[in-house]
Structure formats: C-alpha cells, structure tokens
Amino acid sequence: MRAQRPEDVLPDAENDILYHNIRVRKGTVAAVLRNAEIMASPSSSEAEKRDALAIISELAPSLVALGVHNHLIFKNPAIQQQIDRAAAAQQ
C-alpha cells in the first residue's frame, strides 16, 4: 500500500465514491469537522449545536465506511457516540 493524496482517493472530476457500499461525498470529513467546531464553540446556540449533531449523525456511516472510527476519537462524547453507533450498525 502506498501513501495517498486526496486526488488518489477521489479524482478532482468526481464528487463522490462508493466505499464499502456507502456513497461518500467529497467534503464529508471536512463537514463533520466543521460541525464539531460548531458544537465546541461557546458562541454557538443550542439550536446550532443540535443541527450540527444531526448532520454529524447523518454523515457518521460515511466516516465509518472510510475507517475514520479506527483512527480518530472525537473529544465530544455526543459526537463519538454517533460514530460508535454507526460503526456498530455496520458490523
């Protein structure tokens, strides 16, 4: 196995990829990280945090398909719980 650049995983002309039978859209990991920032921000409202967690929950199966759960642990327990649930559902 060789080291990978983003374009090795998903060529520039493509917007998504089928990975372990789950369609993963370009920008998924960045969107989850951005929403994690919203959840961590003291200036975010409870509604913003709720919306951010809902999107993370929706994207969690894609993160699991990519194997993120095998290498990263989220500091926020609510986020980690969503990732753990998605991982358990895919076993």
Q: Where are the domains of the chain?
A: 6-89
Q: What is the mean pLDDT of residues 34-52?
A: 98
* Closest residue by Cα to residue 82 from 53, 62, 40: 53
**pLDDT for residue 1:** 87
Residue 72: count other Cβ atoms within 10 Å of its Cβ: 12
Q: Break the chain down into helix, strand, coil percent, rounded to 5.
A: 60, 10, 30
pTM to 2 decimal places: 0.92
Average pLDDT taken over every residue of the chain: 96
pLDDT band at 91 (very low <50, low <70, confident <90, very high): confident
